[in-house]
Amino acid sequence: MRGTSPPCTQDGEYLAGFPDLTGACIARANGLALAIRNLRHFEPLGVEAMDPFADPMRK
C-alpha cells in the first residue's frame, strides 16, 4: 500500500515487510549490497545497503 506508514512496533521500530525481507535475503545469500533509498529499513537486518542518490560530499 503506497502512502501508508510502514508497520512499526510500539516503541517505533520498523517491522520489515515481505518485499524488504525478500530483497535482504537475496542480497545476503549472494553476497550483494542493496542500492536503496530507504536505508533505515535494512540497517536492522544486517544487510549492506547504500543510497545511490546520496551526496558523497555530504556528511
Q: Answer yes or no: is pLDDT of 57 > 50.
A: yes
Q: How far apart are the first and last CA of the chain?
A: 32
| Nearest-angstrom CA–CA distance, 10 and 21 | 20
Domain ranges in the chain are: 18-50
**Total-model pTM:** 0.64
Please answer whether residues 28 and 20 qualify as being in contact, where contact means their C-beta atoms are separated by less than 8 angstroms: no
Q: How many CB atoms lie within 10 A of CB 36?
A: 18
At residue 48, the pLDDT reads 92
Q: What is the pLDDT of residues 11-49, one digit of tens each?
A: 666 677 888 888 889 999 999 999 998 888 888 888 899
